[in-house]
Amino acid sequence: MREMSAEDVIGLIDRSGLRGRGGAGFFTARKWREVRNAPGEVKYIICNGDEGDPGAFMDRMTLESYPFRVIEGMLIAAVATGATRGICYIRAEYPLAVSRVRAALETCGGAGYFGGRILGKGQEFSVELREGAGAFICGEESALIATLEGRRPTPSLRPPYPAHQGLHGYPTLVSNVETLAFVPWIVRHGPDAFAEIGTDRSRGTKVFALAGKVLRGGLIEVPMGTTVREIVEEIGGGVAEGRRLKAVQIGGPSGGCIPESLADLPVDYESLTEAGAMMGSGGFVVLDDRDCIVEMSRYFLSFTQIESCGKCTPCRVGTKQMLEILERLCEGRGSGEDIEVLERLAVTVKRNSLCGLGRTAPNPVLTSLKYFRDEFDAHINGKCPAKKCKALITYSIKEDCIGCTKCAQQCPAGAIGMKPYEVHEIDAVKCVRCGGCFDVCPVDAVEVN
């Protein structure tokens, strides 16, 4: 590093093909060059560790376990971009990450890594730590900058991009934790070692938070281009015995749902976007045949709807309208035109929202509609094919019942009378459809319809 010029560093990152891991996948070297070329006596680097996506925790893991990698990445980026000030912006709900990064920053400061002559160059750089303002939208770069300036966390139209006009109007590099953590590795091992992994346009590896109906979940790091099926089966150990893979939701609540029929899709930026999903934060939730697609769309949208900052009309109002329609469908109160209206609202929110939150919030709904439209139609007709939506199912006990009374002991609503050695019955009025009896019956005598 001590021998390398800024141009050398940017060239190196360029050759590695590194793209931003914060969601959109912008080429990192191109962004660095923009910041380098933008005029400004002060330039900032912000490490985006706001990770507001539910179920994603790779940035947390990196910040807690490898804070030095991230700081090193920031130092290298500072040399490349000419930045003079750095900010580690960390989600306030990650106290351990905050304290570890704080300690790491102190260590680096004490060891002389910051100050007037970083990495042996005549350049000043230091890093301060700031805690996030506690909302998902604070991870969006223009809203993040607004909070640092003491304003309400609402996004603004880009362009101008932060690279040209960022914090306090100065050129600012906003980069994700994972992106920055890759940088020292690339410098140490050379760009080719990184570029060798992955696909033509998506190089290197990506960390996913594998969850849902797989035998083994957790954080996984895979080469870009690994197929959905490989991740589910080889890494996750497949879905449970007797169950069938139905779909995977990739990219968190802003991502999309990829059906089993497309499971051989390679996981890279372009393929995912084409299928209507996105890399997003790297959420990877596996669904099996007992998961209801309509209910999943409702669940994911309920997150983005709550997190909408409320600034622009389509996202503020449209997500709420969509959510209420999905709630009606799940409760069996859907009406004929609901699906058409839902689709129209989704397109408007996607096309006309101001920032990435609104522009991606409809993805789960749009992909579900694209690949599983018949399940939506079924809900209008009062049926939940996955037998999941409580308002649309009934539990009953077949003649196979051996009268063991386990179900009656289990039932929290007292809907099953205790009748040892007789065939039990469920009082449909009292039943709260928790499925407890279904799970405890030793002879599978409980039936869902």
Partner 1 sequence: MARLRIDNVEVEVGAGATLLDAAAKAGAEIPTLCYTRQTGAQASCMVCVVKDAGSGRMLPACSAKAEDGMEVDTRGDEVAGLRRETLLMLLSEHVGDCEAPCTRICPASLDIPGLLRLMSGGDESGAARVAQRDLVFPATLCRVCGAPCEKGCRRAQYDAPVGIRACHAALGEGMPERAEGSGKTVGVIGAGLAGLSAAFTSLLRGHACRVYDEAPVACSSVRVRYAQQLPAEILDAEVESIRRMGAELMLGRAVDAAGVVSTCDAVIVACDAGAPVAANVFRADEHAMPARSVANGKAGARAAEAFLRGQQDQSSRRYNSVIGKLRPEEIHAYGVTRLVDDATSEAGRCLGCDCRKAVSCKLRQHADRYGIRGPVKRHMDRPAIAAIEVLGPVLFEPGKCVKCGICVELSRQSGGGLTFAGRGLDTRVELPPGGRISDDLAMRCAEACPTGALAVRAGEERP
* Binding site residues, partner 1, CB under 8 A: 135, 152, 156-157, 159, 305-314, 316-318, 320-321, 323-325, 341, 344-345, 348, 351-354
CA distance 237 to 216: 6
Closest to partner 1 by CB, 124 vs 327, is: 327
Interface residue with ligand FMN among 176, 205, 308, 353 (CB under 6 A) is 176
8 A C-beta contact, residue 365 and residue 327:
no
CA-based radius of gyration for the chain: 25
Residue with Cβ nearer ligand FMN (204 or 236)? 204
Question: CB–CB of 110/70 below 8 Å?
Answer: no
Q: Which of residues 155-174 bind ligand FMN (CB under 6 A)?
A: 174
Pick from ligand SF4, partner 1, ligand FMN, none: which does 297 bind, CB < 5 to 8 A by kind? none
Position 353 contacts ligand SF4 (CB under 6 A): yes
Alpha-carbon torsion, ordered 280, 305, 301, 303, to 10 deg: 70
Q: Residue 349 CB, nearest distance to ligand SF4 (Å)?
A: 8
Report what 174 binds from ligand SF4, partner 1, ligand FMN, none; CB cut-off 5-8 Å by kind.
Answer: ligand FMN
What sign results for the dihedral spanned by CA atoms 306, 218, 212, 236? positive
DSSP letter at 160 equals S
Residue type, 230: E
Q: Is 420 helix (H, G, I), strand (E, B) or coil?
A: coil
Report strand pairing: 85-90 vs 44-49. parallel
Residues 14-33, interacting with ligand FMN (CB under 6 A) = 20-24, 26
Query: Could you identify the residue written with the tokens 């607004």?
Result: 146
State which amino acid sits at residue 98: V
Q: Does 355 bind ligand SF4 (CB under 6 A)?
A: yes
**Is residue 311 at the binding interface for ligand SF4, with CB under 6 A as the rule?**
yes
Closest CB 43 distance from ligand FMN, rounded Å: 16
| Residue 350 interacts with ligand SF4 (CB under 6 A): yes or no | no
Does 355 interact with ligand FMN (rule: CB under 6 A)?
yes
Nearer to ligand FMN, 180 or 214 (CB): 180
Among residues 187, 309, 384, 397, which is the contact residue for ligand SF4, using CB under 6 A? 309
Contact between residue 373 and residue 259 where contact means Cβ atoms under 8 Å apart: no
By CB under 6 A, tell whether 354 contacts ligand SF4. Answer: yes
State the DSSP code for 198: B
Give the tokens for residue 160: 């101008």
With 0-12 / 13-18 / 19 or more C-beta atoms within 10 angstroms meaning exposed / middle / buried, residue 334 is buried
Which listed option, ligand FMN, partner 1, ligand SF4, none, makes contact with residue 301 (CB within 5 to 8 Å by class)? none
Q: Can you give the binding site for ligand SF4, defined by CB under 6 A? A: 137, 154-155, 308-312, 315-316, 353-355, 357-358
